[in-house]
Amino acid sequence: MNLLSRLRTVVQYAVTYACITHCTFEYVGDLVLCKGPSMEPTLFSDNVLLTERLSKYWRNYKSGDIIIAVSPVNAGQFICKRIVAVSGEKVLTQKPNPIETEFQVKPKERSISKAVALAKEEKPSMVTDYVPRGHVWVEGDNKDNSSDSRYYGPIPLGLVRSRVLCRIWPLSALTGL
């Protein structure tokens, strides 16, 4: 009897703490491991970030906020980007060339090096976009190595999971963002 009562108590505490932990990570905030070079030099791979999910209820996202969102092109992946513009704002951006067109060899060119040199000489096209209602425009800090709204357009606020508060690892780089 005594063993069953102790087991029952342990199970009750385990279930209670599991529920509290789940609710905390799902509705309050969590820890995120950052991977990839798109936010360098602000964030590097293997940085651990503290994020929060409550501010969306009492304040709107602003330009400059770093967010964690579900990738609009791969729902199984999360992205870490900086908000550049919010609903109704105008964005002047350079549209990146798709990778396939950067290294295409045209019939009149004989080598890839000539094709690359010609692609670099072409002037980039600047495009004006407006962020629609209920969306944000996100970009990585490392523009040359970031897949962001320049590729897939503004993302819906429903894909935004949390806002980054600070970097907590490595400890030498502990800062608020």
| Percent of the chain whose predicted confidence (pLDDT) is above 90 | 33
pLDDT in tens, 64-83: 999 999 999 888 899 999 99
pLDDT at 100 over 90: no
Q: Is the pLDDT of residue 104 over 70?
A: no
User: Which domains are delineated in the chain?
Assistant: 31-89+131-176 (2.10.109.10)
Q: For the residues 9-15, what does the mean pLDDT come to?
A: 94
Average pLDDT over every residue of 1-25: 91
Which residues are marked as active site?
38, 81
pLDDT at residue 107, rounded to an integer: 53
The pair of structure tokens assigned to 148 is: 């962001």
pLDDT digits (tens, 9 = 90+) for 135-177: 999 999 988 888 888 888 899 999 999 999 989 888 776 766 6
The whole-number pLDDT of residue 79 equals: 92
Over range 81-93, report the average pLDDT. Answer: 90
Q: What is the pLDDT of residues 27-71, one digit of tens each?
A: 888 899 989 888 888 888 889 999 999 888 888 889 999 999 999
